[in-house]
Amino acid sequence: MRPAGGPPATTDEPLPDRQIALIDLLDRLLSGGVVLTGDVVLSIADIDLVRISLRALIVSISEHNPSPWSALAPSVRDDHDG
Amino acid sequence: MTEVISYAYAVARDAGGSLTEALAGLPGVADAPVHLVRAGERGDVVVAVSPVPEEDFHEAALRANLEDLEWLESVARAHHRVIEALASRTTVLPLRLATVYLDDERVRRMLEARQEAFAGRLAELAAHTEWGVKIYVEAPAPTDRPAPPPADADAGLSPGRAYLSHRKAQRHAREDAYRDAEEVARRVEAAARGHAVDRVQHRVQQGELARGPGENVVNDAYLVPLGQAERFRADVSRAAEGLSGVRVEVTGPWAPYSFATPPETEPVPGAAP
């Protein structure tokens, strides 16, 4: 077994000098990026499915750890949904 | 015989014509060399592409492979390697992981159709980088095995009472830590207002791949102009000063993965609300 993402990150080292944590990368590669419908049609919904089942591996959402942030400032991004 | 199809990494502006050089010798997904697809002779908006085995990337295979963490990691790191190589020279619009076309001609047609939109977003993102800001609460979780309480503190208490008293103290410590974390989040947001131009909130990191120590309670990405990056980083890094149970971790600079699609644009027109 190898560690998931190399040595622990510190805030002081410049990024190129260390291995990027896989989880930080997956946050960006699986929910960021331009979504195009390529020829192999994994629809956006399918990608979400991938994320959900991956999360089953990556994530263990625990009932005693509800997000303490519900009261925090709303997402900058979500304001347009009105 | 292995059929190959075209894996598309990113859209970028190849203004100086130096991107081919940046990609030279760089192994992409499946260790294949990466090249550029152009829409026309004078088009300087390009797509970085490499051949991948069709057998690994057709729909059913992809669906299965994406569940395989080792496969996913190798593709994710290769994808990122290419993005970084491009981002060291120019503004990049990363594409979602595993965007695949039947051949380069199909990529070219896609680029032709969307060239203007890509050029517009590239212009908006020029001279900006993405920074990740994560906030961690480091107080012990309620499920953690409580350390044995000091004997004198609980002297005279029954084991049950001592346990409850300890749990209560632990819960208070944790509540304090969450309150401190909210304060840190407010400080981060204040710092960001001065330096960043956009924010995307990612889900908090949990589970096997999450790296502590502590519980991740904020996992945001900020889009920051190059000229503000150092101040942003410095201000955000200071946000947890004086609050011992909370830690701030800054990652970056990243290519603008989280901002590749402008906020007001729906990627799928007519998608259900």
- pLDDT, one tens digit per residue, over A24-61 is 998 898 888 888 877 775 544 445 545 545 554 444 33
What is the four-CA torsion angle of A57, A59, A60, A62, rounded to 10 degrees?
-160
pLDDT beyond 80 at A65: no
What are the chain A neighbours of B236 within 8 Å (beta carbons)? Answer: none
B138-158 as b/e: b if 16+ CB within 10 A: bbbeeeeeeeeeeeeebeeee
* Residue A13, burial from CB neighbour count under 10 angstroms (0-12, 13-18, 19+): exposed
- Name the A residues in 30-69 with CB < 8 Å from any B CB: 30-36, 38-42, 44, 46-47, 50, 53-55, 57-62, 64-65, 67-69
| Spatial distance between the Cα atoms of B173 and A80, rounded to a whole number of angstroms | 37
pLDDT beyond 50 at B4: yes
CB distance A29–B79 less than 8 Å? yes
Interval B197-223: pLDDT, tens:
999 998 888 877 887 789 999 999 999
Mean pLDDT of B132-143: 79
What is the pLDDT at residue B176?
87
Kindly report the nearest CA distance between residue B183 and chain A, in angstroms. 10
Write out the two tokens for B247: 């830690």
Q: Which helix (H) or strand (E) holds A52?
A: helix A44-58
CA torsion through residues B250, A70, B267, A60, sign: positive
Q: Who's near A77: CB < 8 A, 6+ residues apart?
A: B199, B200, B201, B263
Of A4, A9, A75, the CB nearest to B201: A75
Write out the two tokens for B52: 């991948």
ipTM: 0.85
CB distance A5–B237 less than 8 Å? no
| Spatial distance between the Cα atoms of B260 and B221, rounded to a whole number of angstroms | 12
To the nearest 10 degrees (0 to 180), the angle between helices A22-31 and B69-87 is 80
CB distance A21–B211 less than 8 Å? yes
Give the best residue of A39, A46, A51 to mutate against chain B (max B CB count within 10 A): A39
Of A5, A38, A72, the CB nearest to B185: A72
Distances (CA, A) of A21 to B129, B204, B232, B251: 18, 14, 21, 10
Contact criterion met (CB below 8 Å) for B213 and B136: yes
Kindly report the nearest CA distance between residue A14 and chain B, in angstroms. 8
**A1 at B interface, C-beta within 8 A:** no
CB atoms within 10 A of CB A19: 12
Mean pLDDT of B177-196: 93
What is the pLDDT at residue B156?
74
**Residue with the two structure tokens 């993405």:** B130
What are the chain A neighbours of B261 within 8 Å (beta carbons)? Answer: 33-35
Q: How confident is the model at residue B31 (pLDDT cuts 50, 70, 90)?
A: very high
Kindly report the nearest CA distance between residue B164 and chain A, in angstroms. 18
Q: Considering only B44-53, B126-135, B199-208, which range has the smallest mean pLDDT?
A: B199-208
CB distance A31–B258 less than 8 Å? yes
Distances (CA, A) of B125 to A35, B30, B39, B221: 17, 29, 21, 14
Q: Considering only B41-50, B113-122, B232-241, which range has the smallest mean pLDDT?
A: B41-50
**A18 at B interface, C-beta within 8 A:** no
Kindly report the nearest CA distance between residue A7 and chain B, in angstroms. 10
DSSP of chain B: ---EEEEEEEEEE-TTS-HHHHHTT-B-GGGPBPEEEESSSS--EEEEEEEEEHHHHSHHHHHHHTT-HHHHHHHHHHHHHHHHHHHTTS-EEEEEEEEEESSHHHHHHHHHHHHHHHHHHHHHHTTEEEEEEEEEE-SPPTTSPPPPPPTTTTTT--HHHHHHHHHHHHHHHHHHHHHHHHHHHHHHHHHHHHH-SEEEEPPPP-STT---SSEEEEEEEEEEEGGGHHHHHHHHHGGGTT-TTEEEEEEEEE-SGGGSS-TT--SSTT---
Write out the two tokens for B86: 């491009």
Q: Which residue of chain B has the CA closest to A39? A: B101
What is the pLDDT at residue A70?
34
Q: Does domain B129-259 have CATH number 3.30.70?
A: yes
Beta bridge partners of B49: B8, B35
Mean pLDDT of B165-189: 90
Q: Which residue of chain A has the CA closest to B80? A: A25
DSSP of A18-34: SPPPHHHHHHHHHHSSB
pLDDT beyond 60 at B258: yes
B24 vs B17, residue with greater confidence: B24
Kindly report the nearest CA distance between residue B14 and chain A, in angstroms. 18
What are the chain A neighbours of B66 within 8 Å (beta carbons)? Answer: 50, 54
CB distance A27–B219 less than 8 Å? yes
Contact criterion met (CB below 8 Å) for B180 and B228: no
